[in-house]
Every structure is written in C-alpha cells, then in structure tokens.
Amino acid sequence: QVQLVESGGGLMEPGGSLRLSCAASGFFFGAATMAWYRQVPGKQRELVARIRSYGGSDYATSVKGRFTISRDNAKNMVYLEMNNLRPEDTAVYYCNTQFGPIPYWGPGTQVTVSS
C-alpha cells in the first residue's frame, strides 16, 4: 500500500533553513507527481510545492524563491529545502501524492519558526 513518511521538521529561528524529507513506498515513485502541503490549525491545507515525474515544479507564491522541491527517483525520496524561514511558515508539513481522485498523505512533520 502507499506509504509516505515525512522527517526533518523542528524549531528554527527566522531566517534559518530546514530540509524536509519524505520517504515513499508502495507505488511506482518515478511516475508519480509528488507534493508538499502545509496546514495550520483552523485553516485549510495549502499546496506549498509540487514536482512532476519529469522534474517540472511549481510553488505557492508565498514560498517562491525561498523553498526548493526536489526528488531522488533512485531512493524514492522527495525533499523540500526551506530557506529564509519566516514565522508564517510555521505549520505541519505533509507529503502528498495522488492517483486519480484519491490523495495519499503522510502523518506530517511540524515546522515551527520562532525566535
């Protein structure tokens, strides 16, 4: 079955950097579009970045130029490099893929940006 497991979250000061990782299994990773979403309490989950099987990517306006999504198809891994972190980046970050109408999610990893 599809499994996604995030890691790499934590507490960081504003201006700092973090790298999130997502280990994927149970599907043909190389053909899948992968994405990172984030959610804060009381708000809808929002798309942060997405990377397609061929490597094309797109980003939310709020993170463009600061975050970079990448993938390693040999390791079934997707990453989110987050630079120049801001307090408003504080959220639970989720790894995602989707097959047809069915989305799959990891359990999430907390990122807190605070001084």
Burial of 49 (0-12, 13-18, 19+ CB in 10 A): buried
Q: Tell me what pLDDT residue 55 has.
A: 85
Cα separation, 102 vs 95, whole angstroms:
14
The amino acid at residue 54 is Y
**pLDDT band, very low/low/confident/very high, at 113 (cuts 50, 70, 90):** very high
Which of 55, 61, 59, 99 minimizes the C-alpha distance to 78?
Answer: 55
For 78-109, the pLDDT digits (tens) are 999 999 999 999 999 999 999 999 999 999 99
